């Protein structure tokens, strides 16, 4: 039975730095203010001293965290759904004023208070933030237990699952995890009517992440054409540059280094962030540190926009490079991109706007939407499309996503065999044939990775599975077809099938690629363009390795057929194979040497007996 539900469905931007909630009602989008009266809630959780069960979230929590930094938890989105190893690699944990411990490779936040110790997972902290949002929203509009929550495009499956679990724990039924740029696109398109198909680029630079996407809009659809970004690039990195500058100055002029003092570091972080934000509106500011250094009541450090721009230049340019890469990958001509839409607090920085506009040959950027609210507004629109409340009626807009990272399989040589390339629209289905390497090989194991690197293990391992009972065959003569299918709900199905036979194995992975969830660990995210030289070296190595191992296995197969297993060449093939198989590093020289040696001895026999299955000799 279908039950009419008159509650509102809300949209939530669950940001690294700030959260924002909104809903659509009677043809208008409204930002749902928090109980403090603010449109934006800092993603800050403070555990009160002497009473750790007492939690303050948002603006006041952030203020209290200034006084007692060990008890204030922030930027938890950088940690959610990740292993301890990942977060310690990607985040400079020393800059955080709270304690993060390694609990069997799960990160755990530890708050100590006299004789009490509180341990919370990033997911639990996220739940606390979402509970506050829920309570505040419900104080305004009554029960709000259904929501659309936004996530960065580059969030991987485990990050998405952890976000979903946190939301459910907070009492929400999540109707969709919406990719942030799609939310921006929705809110922007809601405002500006389109007459014809047009392309837009969304540039979203927040506190911790950077997202670019190029979309095509028609009257009732949005097609994502191309996405790119960097999950460890944001306003926080700019703050750190200023912090380093101030620390150096304090060290030099006052012989004081605050880095060992969590409380002062937290205060410094706030001061530097404020100075940075001011410099978007003025050309000079002061960083004021009161009671910071012994015997110096007040230290004033002047800081100008010019200084800041010099510091940030590399980072600003990096974002433009990612934009360039995204435009190139999209194959949409630069001048066909009609709207350049800014989102995220850091997109307020004038220099960034200048560089971005210059890249688009002086084009005026679209600033008609509020950079801090547009994600929540888009989420609100998407939410309304799911709502059965008559006040939330809204025509559906179809959003077609693309996969942001390539999917592929590791072959026996460690090379990534790409099956679905990044930016392929979904749903999609692609297959590839694989062959056995060894004689009479009975199983093939597939490791499915996502990422762009040529060396498979440099990418993110998504799943591992095995097809057994292959019919015995000579090397490379047994074919297995591997099919990757992503349906419109983002469910990835992997199927391996032995050719000419009904030996099939299938697995389904909740990959949530499209509508609910998605991608990758940051280190994988680093696009292959940053690693061209390394990838090329790997490719040369692996090509040579492949040739040599194929040579050995095929020669051995032929020798066996000729009952020549006792022949010295057979032994040589065997040891060479073992040697090359064990080579982990990219040691090309050894491979060259081994190849030369074996060919010199073996080629004459190969020719004499007309060996079969040998590659181009
Ligand atoms: P998130 O998506 O990470 O939650 P926001 O989009 O709200 O965050 O952006 C927060 C970031 O934007 C912070 O690093 C903040 O310092 C920065 N920011 C906000 N306003 C400005 C400004 N006027 N100039 C420069 N940076 C700003
Ligand atoms: Mg954001």
Three-state SS string across 402-465, please? ECCCCEEEECCCCEEEEEECCCCECCEEEEEEEECCCCCCCCEEEEEEECCCCEHHHCEEEEEE
Tokens of 474: 């000579």
On the 0-12 / 13-18 / 19+ scale of CB atoms within 10 A, 422 is buried
Report the candidate in 553, 486, 483, 552 with the shortest Cα–Cα distance to residue 516. 486
Is residue 285 in contact with ligand 1, taking CB distance under 6 Å?
no
Ligand with the closest atom to the CA of 237: 1
Q: Are 244 and 258 in contact (CB under 8 A)?
A: no
Domain ranges across the chain: 10-233+313-387, 235-312, 403-517, 533-609
Lowest mean pLDDT among 4-8, 306-310, 317-321: 4-8
Half-sphere exposure of 205 (CA within 13 A, CB side): 24
Residues 57/76, Cβ–Cβ less than 8 Å: no
The CATH class for the domain spanning 235-312 reads alpha beta
Q: What is the CA radius of gyration of the chain?
A: 28
Provide CB contacts within 8 A for 544, sequence distance 6+.
Answer: 588, 591, 592, 595
Q: Is the CB of 273 inside a 6 Å radius of any atom of ligand 1?
A: yes
Q: Tell whether ligand 1 has an atom less than 6 A from the beta carbon of residue 277.
A: yes
What is the CATH number assigned to the segment(s) 403-517?
2.60.34.10
**Catalytic one among 70, 75, 136, 204?**
204
Tell me, what's the pLDDT at 436? 83
Q: Encode pLDDT of 436-490 as tens digits.
A: 877 788 888 899 998 888 999 888 888 888 888 888 888 778 889 999 988 765 5
Specify the pLDDT at position 249: 94
How many residues are given for the chain? 617
Mean pLDDT of the region 332-336: 93
Tokens 């994502």 belong to which residue? 224
Residue percentage of the chain with pLDDT more than 90: 46
Confidence grade of residue 51 (pLDDT, cut at 50, 70, 90): confident
How far is ligand 2, taken at its centre, from the CA of residue 276, in Å?
18
206 touches ligand 1 (CB under 6 Å): yes
pLDDT value of residue 373? 94
Greater pLDDT, 173 or 366: 173
189-213 tens-digit pLDDT: 777 666 678 899 999 999 988 999 9
**For residue 146, what pLDDT is reported?**
95
Q: Which position among 70, 75, 136, 180 bears the catalytic label? A: 180
Residue 300 annotated to the active site? no
Closest-CA residue, ligand 1 atom 19, reads 345
Q: Is the CB of 122 under 6 A from ligand 1?
A: no
The confidence score (pLDDT) of residue 520 equals: 35
Atom of ligand 1 nearest to the CA of 19: 4
Give the mean model confidence (pLDDT) for residues 122-139: 98
| Per-chain mean pLDDT for the chain | 87
Give the mutation target among 235, 272, 344 for probing the ligand 1 site: most ligand atoms within 8 A of CB: 235
Taking every pair of C-alpha atoms in the chain, what is the biggest distance, in angstroms?
Answer: 91
Confirm or reject: Cβ of 17 under 6 Å from ligand 1. yes
- The residue from 77, 82, 176, 545 that is catalytic is 77
Q: Is residue 277 annotated as part of the catalytic site, yes or no?
A: no
Protein residue whose Cα sits closest to atom 18 of ligand 1:
345
CA distance 528 to 454: 8
- pLDDT tens across 520-556, in order? 333 334 444 567 788 888 888 888 888 898 889 888 8
pLDDT at 518: 32
**Which numbered ligand comes closest to the C-alpha of 184?**
2
The band of 587, judged by pLDDT with boundaries at 50, 70 and 90, is confident
DSSP state of 365: P
d(CA 449, CA 492): 12
The pLDDT-based confidence of 517 (bands split at 50, 70, 90) is: very low
Alpha helices (runs of H) in 192-278, residue ranges in sequence order: 235-254, 262-278
What torsion do the CA atoms of 150, 153, 158, 164 make, to the nearest 10 degrees?
Answer: 10
Q: For ligand 1, atom 3, name the residue with the nearest CA.
A: 207
611 within 8 A of 558, measured Cβ to Cβ = yes
* Least confident span in 95-109, 127-141, 572-586: 572-586
- Note if 13 is an active site residue: yes
Instruction: Choose the weakest-confidence range: 262-271, 327-336, 439-448, 503-512.
Output: 503-512
Query: How far, in Å, from the CA of 500 to the mean position of ligand 1?
Result: 58
Q: Which entry of 13, 211, 228, 498 is annotated as an active-site residue?
A: 13
CATH superfamily for 10-233+313-387 is ATPase, nucleotide binding domain (3.30.420.40)
Residue 228 has pLDDT above 50, yes or no: yes
pLDDT tens sequence across 232-247: 789 999 999 999 999 9
Q: What is the pLDDT of residue 541?
A: 86
Q: Is 346 near ligand 1, meaning CB less than 6 Å away?
A: yes
User: Quick one: pLDDT at residue 490?
Assistant: 57
More confident residue, 603 or 31: 31
Ligand nearest to the CA of 376: 2
Q: What is the mean pLDDT of residues 65-89?
A: 89
Tokens of 180: 């942030």
């Amino acid at each position: 039975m279908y039950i009419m539900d008159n509650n509102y469905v809300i949209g939530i931007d669950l940001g690294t730095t700030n959260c924002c909630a909104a809903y659509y009602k009677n043809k208008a989008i409204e930002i749902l203010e928090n109980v403090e009266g603010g449109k934006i809630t800092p993603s800050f959780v403070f555990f009160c001293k002497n009473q750790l069960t007492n939690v303050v979230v948002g603006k006041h929590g952030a203020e209290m965290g200034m006084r007692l930094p060990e008890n204030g938890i922030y930027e938890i989105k950088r940690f959610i759904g990740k292993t301890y190893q990942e977060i310690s690699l990607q985040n400079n944990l020393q800059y955080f004023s709270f304690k993060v411990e390694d609990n069997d490779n799960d990160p755990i936040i530890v708050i100590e208070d006299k004789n009490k110790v509180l341990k919370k997972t990033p997911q639990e902290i996220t739940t606390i933030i979402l509970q506050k949002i829920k309570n505040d929203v419900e104080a305004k509009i009554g029960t709000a237990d259904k929501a659309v929550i936004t996530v960065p495009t580059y969030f991987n499956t485990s990050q998405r699952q952890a976000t979903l679990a946190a939301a459910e724990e907070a009492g929400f039924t999540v109707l969709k995890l919406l990719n942030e740029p799609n939310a921006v696109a929705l809110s922007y398109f809601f405002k500006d009517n389109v007459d014809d198909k047009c392309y837009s680029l969304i540039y979203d630079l927040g506190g911790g992440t950077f997202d670019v996407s190029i979309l095509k809009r028609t009257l009732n659809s949005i097609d994502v054409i191309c996405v790119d970004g960097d999950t460890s690039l944001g306003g926080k990195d700019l703050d750190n540059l200023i912090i380093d500058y101030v620390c150096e100055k304090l060290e030099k002029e006052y012989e004081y280094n605050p880095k060992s003092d969590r409380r002062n570091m937290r205060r410094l972080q706030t001061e530097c962030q404020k100075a940075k934000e001011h410099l978007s509106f003025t050309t000079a500011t002061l960083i004021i540190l009161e009671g910071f250094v012994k015997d110096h009541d007040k230290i004033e450090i002047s800081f100008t926009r010019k200084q800041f721009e010099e510091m940030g230049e590399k980072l600003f340019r990096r974002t433009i490079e990612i934009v360039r890469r995204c435009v190139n990958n999209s194959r949409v001509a630069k001048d066909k991109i009609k709207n350049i839409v800014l989102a995220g607090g850091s997109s307020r920085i004038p220099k960034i706007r200048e560089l971005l506009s210059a890249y688009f040959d002086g084009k005026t950027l679209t600033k008609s939407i509020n950079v801090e609210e547009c994600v929540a507004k888009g989420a609100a629109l998407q939410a309304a499309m799911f709502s059965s409340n008559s006040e939330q009626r809204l025509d559906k807009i179809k959003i077609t996503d693309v996969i942001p990272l390539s999917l592929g399989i590791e072959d026996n040589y460690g090379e990534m065999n790409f099956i679905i390339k990044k930016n392929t629209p979904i749903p999609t289905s692609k297959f590839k044939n694989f062959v056995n390497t060894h004689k009479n090989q009975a199983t093939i194991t597939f490791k499915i990775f996502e990422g762009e690197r040529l060396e498979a293990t440099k990418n993110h391992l998504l799943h591992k599975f095995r097809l057994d009972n292959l019919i015995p065959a000579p090397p490379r003569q047994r074919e297995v077809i591997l099919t990757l299918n992503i349906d419109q709900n983002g469910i990835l199905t992997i199927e391996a099938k032995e050719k000419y036979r009904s030996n099939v194995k299938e697995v389904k992975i909740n990959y949530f690629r499209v509508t609910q969830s998605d991608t990758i660990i940051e280190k994988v995210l680093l696009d292959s363009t940053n690693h061209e030289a390394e990838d090329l070296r790997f490719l040369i190595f692996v090509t040579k390795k492949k040739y040599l191992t194929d040579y050995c296995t095929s020669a051995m197969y032929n020798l066996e057929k000729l009952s020549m297993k006792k022949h010295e060449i057979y032994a040589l093939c065997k040891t060479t194979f073992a040697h090359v198989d064990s080579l982990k590093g990219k040691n090309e020289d050894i491979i060259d040497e081994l190849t030369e040696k074996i060919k010199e001895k073996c080629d004459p026999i190969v020719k004499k007996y007309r060996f079969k299955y040998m590659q181009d000799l």
